[in-house]
């Protein structure tokens, strides 16, 4: 299972991948996480890949994606060709215009929900992670929650878990 | 258990091995080693120094060892080039220390953020003059941790610098790291002379004396007698010294060299690989075996001294040997010295690791 989180630096893209990779390990699976490493930082383009398998992982970078999460138009444009034909596309619908409709496209206004329900736009990635978990069940919600709790700053754990559950329960 | 990058695993491995001194200069993709060492060393009463460059970093590492430190540095590409002169000084003064080289795409600044395996020959012959070298190539986060402990042990046993040759791929991916029980680790302590004796001769691997132990110690990169005093004009002094430094490793090849073999018994073809490229190489092997091809696998964990014996023994039964590596054939050509069959490099450069299918396709089209 190859998952790619993409968007701009500063949207919590890398954190999403790290949380998901660790959650997969907590679920008893093997996981590798890699991230784009360039001169871009906040505001530049950003990607983070997670490979999850029951068996040992031989390939260090994913060749074809099963899941693409896009938080920006340039990220969507760049990476949608790498999504396999049966792959799942998740986008923040206010940030990405989908040019070609795919069978498995899931779009939510993650940033808008984060702003309106929590007054914290920065929670969009965690809401999206909840939605991804609820829709795909690749990783158990319990493990993702544990992973979130070990990676976000201690004083924001409750807030992040609220955001995660908000996404998890979206229809 | 932690979810960490290879660079971080290297730092943790060093701490578990008892490293108490790090001198370095940050460079992508090795900076995370320095970063974590700067956080962890103070917790074990160790010292972290950021030096003005890599030449000075290696100098500080060597100096600290003679003052009793268990020391390392970490670098990449251009930094590894700058360290070569003092790595030679460490060989000549028989100073145990560890250099982690998180290889990146060169030459020069090349693709500064991308991984490669282009420094394999530089690890062996980067510094001038006759010398032997120990270099190890882990292929996972767990093995990077374990390799650091082995590297420190080998450096103490043989009184020689040891190179840990990871790469930008292994250095930067995150994977599971399980910490061992420190009580169960075998850590080789430094062998120190109990009385004032010659520390540059007398036996093949002499014990050390450190500064401050009460004896005069003369340490020089120039040719020296067994008591450490300089003698750069007597042929036999140089011959004896350099030959001993060479042979202390060469004669222990079988004790140093580690590798893993699989599916060798019935194999007609062989894949030899190491480090990052050995992972997709093994994926390709699994697919090729499934389709009925009798192909075996040999992964080099020790790059230097070279695994001469196992290569010549397994190689003599093979029709062809395929060598996936992220350079233009550095180990591939080394293998050719020990076998008569055709050796085919499966080279990839440019900062993206091999995929399983690339290796599989290259092998299938060259059977």
Superfamily of domain B2-184: Thiamin diphosphate (ThDP)-binding fold, Pyr/PP domains (3.40.50.970)
Assess whether pLDDT exceeds 80 at residue A43.
no
Q: Is residue A39 very low, low, confident or very high in pLDDT (cuts 50, 70, 90)? A: low
Assess whether pLDDT exceeds 60 at residue A22.
yes
> What is the structure's pLDDT at A44?
76
Q: Is B174 on the interface with A (CB under 8 A)?
A: yes
Give how far the C-alpha of residue B115 lies from the chain's centroid of Cα atoms, to the nearest Å. Answer: 16
Q: Is B353 on the interface with A (CB under 8 A)?
A: yes
Q: Is the CB of A18 less than 8 angstroms away from the CB of B279?
A: no
Nearest to A30 by CA among B360, B177, B143: B177
CATH class given for the domain over B260-364 = alpha beta
Q: Which domains does chain A have, with CATH numbers?
A: 2-168 (3.40.920.10)
Q: Report domain extents, chain B.
A: 2-184, 260-364
The pLDDT of A98-124, averaged and rounded, is 92
For B111-123, what is each residue's pLDDT tens digit? 999 999 999 999 9
What secondary structure, in 3-state letters, does chain B show?
CEEEEHHHHHHHHHHHHCCCEEEECCCCCCHHHHHHHHHHHHHHCCEEEECCCHHHHHHHHHHHHHCCCCEEEEECHHHHHHHHHHHHHHHHCCCCEEEEEEEEECCCCCEEEEECCCCHHHHHHCCCCCCCCEEECCCCHHHHHHHHHHHHHHHHHHCCEEEEEEEHHHHHCEEEECCCCHHHCCCCCCCECCCCCCCCCCCCCCCECCCCCCCCCCCCCCCECCCCCECCCCHHHHHHHHHHHHHHHHCCHHHHCCEEEECCCCCCEEEEECHHHHHHHHHHHHHHHHCCCCEEEEEECEEECCCHHHHHHHHCCCCEEEEEECCCCHHHHHHHCCCCCEEEEEECCCCCCCCHHHHHHHHHCCC
> What is the structure's pLDDT at A63?
84
Q: Is residue B156 very low, low, confident or very high in pLDDT (cuts 50, 70, 90)? A: very high
In this prediction the ipTM stands at 0.94
Q: Is the CB of B355 less than 8 angstroms away from the CB of A30?
A: no
* Average predicted confidence (pLDDT) for chain B: 97
The pLDDT of B309-330, averaged and rounded, is 97
Percent above pLDDT 90 for chain B: 96
pTM: 0.96
> What is the structure's pLDDT at A9?
87
The pLDDT of A70-86, averaged and rounded, is 93
- Measured CA to CA, the distance from residue B28 to residue B106 in angstroms comes to 12
Q: B-chain residues within 8 Å CB-CB of A63?
A: 355-357
CB atoms under 10 Å from CB of B146, counted, come to 20
Assess whether pLDDT exceeds 60 at residue A40.
no
Q: Is residue A5 very low, low, confident or very high in pLDDT (cuts 50, 70, 90)? A: very high
- Mark out chain A residues that contact chain B at CB-CB < 8 A: 18, 21-22, 25, 30-35, 37-38, 57-61, 63
- Measured CA to CA, the distance from residue B367 to residue B359 in angstroms comes to 13
For B56-67, what is each residue's pLDDT tens digit? 999 999 999 999
> What is the structure's pLDDT at A42?
64
* DSSP H helices in A27-152: 73-79, 110-118, 124-136, 141-151
Same fold, B2-184 and B260-364: yes
Assess whether pLDDT exceeds 60 at residue B138.
yes
Q: Is the CB of B357 less than 8 angstroms away from the CB of A34?
A: no
For B332-360, what is each residue's pLDDT tens digit? 999 999 999 999 999 999 999 999 999 99
For B228-282, what is each residue's pLDDT tens digit? 999 999 999 999 999 999 999 999 999 999 999 999 999 999 999 999 999 999 9
């Amino acid at each position: 299972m190859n998952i790619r989180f993409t968007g701009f630096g500063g949207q919590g893209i890398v954190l999403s991948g790290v949380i998901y990779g660790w959650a997969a390990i907590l679920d008893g699976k093997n996981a590798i996480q890699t991230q784009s490493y360039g001169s871009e930082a906040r505001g530049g383009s950003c990607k983070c890949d997670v490979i999850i398998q029951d068996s040992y992982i031989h390939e260090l970078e994913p060749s074809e994606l099963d899941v693409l999460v896009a938080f920006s138009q340039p990220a969507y444009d760049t990476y949608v060709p790498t999504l396999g034909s049966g792959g799942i596309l998740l986008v923040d619908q206010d940030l990405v215009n989908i040019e070609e409709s795919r069978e498995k496209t899931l779009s939510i206004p993650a940033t808008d929900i984060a702003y309106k329900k929590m007054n914290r736009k920065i929670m969009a990635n965690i809401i999206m992670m909840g939605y991804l978990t609820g829709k795909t069940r690749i990783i158990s919600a319990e493990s993702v929650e544990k992973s979130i709790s070990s990676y976000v700053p201690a004083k924001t754990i409750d807030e992040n878990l609220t955001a995660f559950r908000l996404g998890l329960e979206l229809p | 258990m932690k979810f960490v990058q290879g660079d971080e695993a290297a730092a943790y491995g060093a701490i578990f091995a008892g490293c108490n001194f790090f001198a370095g200069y940050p460079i992508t993709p090795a900076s995370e080693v320095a970063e974590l060492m700067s956080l962890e060393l103070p917790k074990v009463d160790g010292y972290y120094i950021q030096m003005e460059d890599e030449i000075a970093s290696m100098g500080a590492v060597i100096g600290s060892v003679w003052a009793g430190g268990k020391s390392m540095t970490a670098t990449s590409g251009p930094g590894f080039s700058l360290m070569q002169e003092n790595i030679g000084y460490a060989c000549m003064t028989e100073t145990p220390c560890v250099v982690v080289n998180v290889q990146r795409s060169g030459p020069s600044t090349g693709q500064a953020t991308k991984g490669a395996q282009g420094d394999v020959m530089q690890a062996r012959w980067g510094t001038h003059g006759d010398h032997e070298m120990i270099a190890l190539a882990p292929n996972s986060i767990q093995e990077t941790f374990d390799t650091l402990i082995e590297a420190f042990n080998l450096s103490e046993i043989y009184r020689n610098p040891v190179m840990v040759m990871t790469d930008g791929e292994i250095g930067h991916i995150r994977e599971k790291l399980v910490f061992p029980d420190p009580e169960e680790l075998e850590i080789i302590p430094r062998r120190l002379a109990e009385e004032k004796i010659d520390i540059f001769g007398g036996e093949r691997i002499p014990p050390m004396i450190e500064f401050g132990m009460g004896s005069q110690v003369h340490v020089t990169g120039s040719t020296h007698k067994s008591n450490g005093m300089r003698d750069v004009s007597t042929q036999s002094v140089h011959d004896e010294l350099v030959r001993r430094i060479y042979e202390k490793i060469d004669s222990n090849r079988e004790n140093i060299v580690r590798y893993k073999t699989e599916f060798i018994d019935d194999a007609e073809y062989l894949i030899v690989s190491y480090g990052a490229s050995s992972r997709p190489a093994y994926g390709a092997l699994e697919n090729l075996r499934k389709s009925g091809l009798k192909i075996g696998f040999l992964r080099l964990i020790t790059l230097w001294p070279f695994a001469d014996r196992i290569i010549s023994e397994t190689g003599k039964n093979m029709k062809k040997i395929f060598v996936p590596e992220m350079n233009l054939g550095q180990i591939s050509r080394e293998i050719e010295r020990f076998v008569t069959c055709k050796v085919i490099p499966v080279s990839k450069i440019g900062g993206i690791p091999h995929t399983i299918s690339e290796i599989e396709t290259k092998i299938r089209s060259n059977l």
